[in-house]
Amino acid sequence: MTVLLLFLAVAVASTANAAWLLGRMKAAHSEVWMALGRPTLSQSNLARPRLALLKYVWSFRFREVNDRMFVLACWAALVAEVALAALFFVFTFAPHDHV
């Protein structure tokens, strides 16, 4: 149960970070936002812009942007994705009496 709660907490924090990141990108770095296909968090958003955003973050191109808070939010997104994958793996494959 602890792993599931931790997973949910990281997922909520990750979503909040993503919302801030996309808002900052749209407002302060619109050239990047438009080049990525104008990604949003909405369900109606097509997959291509979201995949472009993932590729942008995982390629570490965000380090080229001269905006410390934006770069920190991108690093936080990377850490959260790794943490979510690890927690999902633990929750799925660990013996349930230890989860």
Q: What is the pLDDT of residues 6-33, one digit of tens each?
A: 999 999 999 899 999 999 999 999 999 9
Whether residue 36 is contained in a domain is answered as yes
Nearest to 21 by CA among 54, 45, 47, 43: 54
The Cα–Cα gap between 32 and 62 comes to 9
pLDDT tens digits for 43-89? 555 567 778 888 999 999 999 999 999 999 999 999 999 999 999 99
pTM for the full model?
Answer: 0.86
What pLDDT is stored for residue 51 in this prediction?
82
Query: What's the confidence (pLDDT) of residue 94?
Result: 82
Whether 99 is covered by a domain: the verdict is no
Token representation of residue 9: 């907490």
Give residue 27's domain range.
Answer: 2-93
Domain membership flag for residue 98 = no
Instruction: Look at residue 82 in the predicted model and tell me its pLDDT.
Output: 96
